A and B are shown apart, each in its own frame.
Chain A
Amino acid sequence: MLENQKKDVGLYGFTGCNGDQLTIIHSEDKLLDFWQSVHIKSFSLAKSDNDDSDLDIALVEGSISNQEQAEHMKEIRKRSKKLIAIGNCACYGGVQAMELGSKGWDQRFRKVYGDAFFELRTPIESKPIDVFVDVDFYIPGCPINADQFFYCFAHLIQDHVPTIPDHPVCAECRWRENDCLLLKGILCLGPLTASGCNAVCPSHNLPCLGCWGPVEEANVSSEFNLLKEKGLTQEEIKRRFRMHNGSGIIKPLKKILGVL
C-alpha cells in the first residue's frame, strides 16, 4: 500500500488479559506485514513512542472497569473513524462480567479489596465497551483467532466491511467429525457459541465453555430445556451459560428465567 494511503491505526487495551493484542504479537510471520500495512500510532503493549492523534481505525481490547477507562474510551471514540471491539472482554465484558445484571458487585469488591481506597482510579463493575460508545464492528474470541482477525483487518483497512461466519461451534465440530458431547449428556455450549475457534475444546474431548460469546441465531431456550432433560439443574446450566457470555446472554436468559 502507498505510504499516503495507509490508515492510521491505534491499539488499546482496557481490562482483561491482553490476550487479543498478544495474539497479534504472536503472529510472528504476519506481524511485520501488519505493522507495515498501516501507520501504527499507538500500541502501548509493543512500543513506547505512542501518540493520541486522530485515527482511521481504533482496535480496542478489554472491558471497562473504572470511570477513568470509560472517559478514555469516549476520548478514543471521538478521534476514531471506526471503532472495532476485539475479543470477548470488549465485545461482551469477559469473565469479569459474568454477574452483570445481578446484584452483588459491592460485596465482591469488598471480598477482594476490603475497604481499600483507590487513590488513582474509581472502580466500577466491568462492562463491555458498547455500554459507553458506539462500536462499528465486533471481532469475538477468547482470545481472537489470528486468521480471522487478519482477514477482518485486511477488509477494514480497505474500507470494506468483513463478514464473519454466524454459525455455532457445532458446525465446526461436525466438519472435524467429532462425537457430539451433548448426546453423551455432557454440558457443552457448542450450539450457543460463535464459531471461529475450530471447535478446539470438543476436538480435545472437552465441552465447549462458550468463551467466544453467543452466536446470533442461538436457540437458548431449546438448549436450556435439552440440558434440563439430561438431568442438569437450572443453577448448573445458568452458571455455565453466564461464565463467558457477559452482556450477550442476559436478554435470552431473562426471557427463560424471568430474573437473573
Chain B
Amino acid sequence: MREILVEPLARVEGEGGITIRTEGKKVKEVRFDILEGTRLIEALVVGKTPEEDVSITCRICAICTLSHRYAALRGLEKALGIQVPPKVQWMRSLMHLGECLESHSLHAYILALPDFFGYPSVIPMLDQYNEEVTGALTLKKFANRVMEVTSGRMIHGENPTVGGFGRYPDREVLQQLKQEAKELLPFAEKGVKLFADLDIPSFFEQETVFMCCEPDEKEYGLVGDYIRISTGEVVPVEQYQKLTNERFVSHSAAKHCLYKKRPYTVGALARMNNLGDRLKGKAGMLFKKYWNERWLRNPVFNNLAQAIEIVWGLEQIPMVVDHIIKIKEDPEIVKPTQRKGDGVGAVEAPRGTLYHHYQIKEGLVADANFVIPTGQNLEDCEKYMRNAVEKLLTEAVDDDAIRLQCEIIVRAYDPCISCSTHLVTIECEDE
C-alpha cells in the first residue's frame, strides 16, 4: 500500500491535510482531513443576546468575518421582526463587497497562484512577477480599507449591528473609496487574463451541481432569500436543511453535505455558472470572453471565476457608494418588534453559500445552526481529487506530482477550515 500525506496543508486558512491511500493502480481512499480544533460556537451562543451573538459568530473566521456577521444579522433580524432601511442595506452591500475583494485577492493571488508558477509562497515571486504581486497587495489593501471604513476595523469590526450601524462613514471617505475602486479596475482586468492563461489540466473533469443565492433583484449578487441550483430549481433559504443534508465523517471536524445524495459545489465558480450571464460592464465582457463548458466540470476554474468577480466588485463599489451618499440622513438603529421568532439568513461568503439559522425566545438565542461553504464543498473536493489520483496512477508519476495536483484542487476550492468546524447536528433526511 502506498500512502501519500499532506499535513499540514499550507496556504489555506486553518488546519487541514490530505490523505491518499492506494494499492497498485487502485485508489483505496482520498480524504480532505479537517484537523482544526473544535470550538462549539453554536452551543456557546445559546442564551446570548442577538448583539452578543454577532460579536461571537463573526469570530468563527477572520477572512469571512463580515459574511458571518451579515448572515447572522439577516437570520436574527427575520426572527426579531426587524426591517432595515435602504441606507443600512447599501452599507451592508459595501462591506460585503469589500470582504469579497479582500478574500479573493488573498486567495487567488497570494495563496493559489504560487502553485501554478512553482513557488512555495508569493514572496519569492516578487522578483519575476513584481507587478502582479504588488498589484494584488494594493488591491487587498483597498479591500481591507473598505471593510475598515464600513465595519470599524479590518477584522471583526463591530459597527454593523442588529438593526443597523453604530456610525456611518464620512462622505469624503466614501468618495475616496469610489475613486480608488475605479483606479484599480485596469489591474483587475489584467489579472483575469493572467488566470485565464494558466494551463488547467482536464483529466479529472466531471459534471457536478452548483448552488448559490438568488439575488432579489434578479441581477448578479451575493445575497438572497432563495437558492438557485444549477438543475434549474429555486428554493427558499428556509429549506436549507433539505439542500445541504449534513452528515458526519470521522476524518473531519466538519460535516459533509450532499444534495439529493449528490455532491455539489458552492463559491465564485457556482455563482458564475448559475448567474454569470447576468453580468454587465467589463465583468460581463470578460465572462463572455472566457466562460466555456469546462467551467461546469472543473473546480480549478474557481480561481478565474474569482478574478472576474474582483472586476465585478470594483465596478459595483462606485454605484453602491453613490446610493449611500444619496441618502443624507443616517438612520437610527431599528429595534426588534418581537422577542420570539425563527429566522434563516443566507449570504454568499467569498467561498460560497453561508447559512445562519436562529431561534429566538424571550429576546435571547434559543438555538442556532450554521452551514458553511467549505463543508458543502468537501464531498466534491474529495471527488475531484479521487478522479485526479486515479488518472495519475495509470501514468506512474511520483508522490510529489500527485500531491501537487491534489493541493491545486483543494486550494481552488478556497477552503476556510476555521469556518468548517462550526457545524451543527442536523438530522439527516435521506431522500
Residues of A within 8 A of B (CB): 13-19, 22-23, 25-26, 28-29, 31-32, 35, 44-50, 62-66, 68-69, 94-96, 98-99, 105, 107-109, 111-114, 116-121, 123, 126, 142-143, 197, 200-201, 203-206, 209, 211, 239-240, 243-244
Q: Which of chain A's residues have a CB closer than 8 A to the CB of B8?
A: 44
Complex CA distance for A204 and B155, rounded to whole angstroms: 15
Contact with A along B1-37 (1 / 0, CB 8 A): 0000000101111110000000000000000010111
Q: Which of chain A's residues have a CB closer than 8 A to the CB of B44?
A: 95-96, 98-99, 108
Complex CA distance for A16 and B166, rounded to whole angstroms: 26
Range class of the B interface residue count: 35 or more
Contacts between chains A and B (CB distance < 8 A), count = 186
Q: Which of chain B's residues have a CB closer than 8 A to the CB of A46?
A: 11, 110, 121-123
Q: Which of chain B's residues have a CB closer than 8 A to the CB of A239?
A: 47-48, 52
Within the complex, which residue of B42, B56, B60 is in contact with A243, where a contact is CB–CB below 8 Å?
A: B56
The verdict on B167 contacting chain A, using a C-beta distance below 8 Å, is yes
9 further A-B contacts with Cβ under 8 Å, apart from A95-B44, A243-B56, are: A15-B36, A17-B62, A18-B418, A19-B65, A49-B121, A94-B59, A120-B251, A126-B40, A200-B153
Complex CA distance for A209 and B57, rounded to whole angstroms: 14
Q: Which of chain B's residues have a CB closer than 8 A to the CB of A29?
A: 141
The smallest beta-carbon distance between B388 and chain A, in angstroms, is 18
Q: Tell me whether B60 and A123 are in contact (CB under 8 A).
A: no
Q: Tell me whether A201 and B250 are in contact (CB under 8 A).
A: no
Q: Tell me whether A206 and B425 are in contact (CB under 8 A).
A: no
Q: Which of chain A's residues have a CB closer than 8 A to the CB of B114?
A: 48
Q: Which of chain B's residues have a CB closer than 8 A to the CB of A120?
A: 33, 35, 250-251
Shortest 10 CB-CB contacts between residues of A and residues of B:
A65-B37, A19-B62, A47-B121, A15-B37, A108-B43, A204-B166, A49-B120, A96-B39, A119-B250, A206-B166
Q: Which of chain B's residues have a CB closer than 8 A to the CB of A13?
A: 14-15
Interface members, chain B 146-188 (any A CB < 8 Å)? 152-159, 161, 165-167
Complex CA distance for A126 and B35, rounded to whole angstroms: 15
Q: Which of chain B's residues have a CB closer than 8 A to the CB of A94?
A: 39, 59
> Known: A112-B424, A120-B251. Is A50-B47 also a contact (CB below 8 A)?
no
The smallest beta-carbon distance between A227 and chain B, in angstroms, is 15
Q: Tell me whether A111 and B154 are in contact (CB under 8 A).
A: no
Complex CA distance for A15 and B166, rounded to whole angstroms: 30
Contact with A along B245-260 (1 / 0, CB 8 A): 0001011010000000
Q: Tell me whether B152 and A123 are in contact (CB under 8 A).
A: no
7 example contacts (A-B, Cβ-Cβ < 8 A) are as follows A18-B418, A45-B10, A96-B41, A108-B40, A111-B424, A113-B425, A243-B56
Q: Which of chain B's residues have a CB closer than 8 A to the CB of A119?
A: 250-251
Q: Which of chain A's residues have a CB closer than 8 A to the CB of B106?
A: 25
Max chain B C-beta neighbours (<10 A), residue from A109, A206, A240, A244: A206
The residue on A at minimum CB distance from B424 is: A112
Within the complex, which residue of B15, B167, B250 is in contact with A117, where a contact is CB–CB below 8 Å?
A: B250
Q: Which of chain A's residues have a CB closer than 8 A to the CB of B154?
A: 23, 26
Q: Tell me whether B48 and A22 are in contact (CB under 8 A).
A: no
The smallest beta-carbon distance between A144 and chain B, in angstroms, is 9
Max chain A C-beta neighbours (<10 A), residue from B42, B60, B123, B424: B123
